[in-house]
Structure 1
Amino acid sequence: MATLYLVGTPIGNLADITYRAVQTLQSVDLIACEDTRVTQKLCQHYEIHTPLKSYHDHNKEKETAHLIELLQQGNDIALVSDAGLPLISDPGYELVVAAREAQLRVETVPGPNAGLTALMASGLPSFTYTFLGFLPRKDKEKVEVLKQRMYEDSTLIIYESPYRVKDSLQAIARVDDERQVALGRELTKRFEQIETGTPKTLLQMIERDDIRLKGEFVILIQGAAPEADNAWFEDLTIHEHVDYYCEQGQKPKAAIKQVAKDRQMKTGEVYDIYHEV
Structure 2
Amino acid sequence: METSNVPSFPPNAVIREVGLRDGLQSIQRILPTERKIEWIAGAYAAGQREIEVGSFVPARLLPQLADTAELVTYAKTLPGLRVSVLVPNLKGAGRAIETGADLMLVPLSASRAHSLANLRKTPDEVVAEVARIRAARDAAGSKTLIEGGIGTAFGCTIQGRVEQPEVLRCLQALLDAGADRVSIADTVGYAGPAAVRELFEKARDIAGERFWCGHFHDTRGLALANVYAALETGVARFDATLAGIGGCPHAPGASGNASSEDLAFMLAGMGLETGIDIAALLALRAMVARWLEGETLHGTLWLAGLPTTHAATATTDA
TM-score (norm 1): 0.30
Rg (Cα) greater in structure? 1
TM-score (norm 2): 0.28
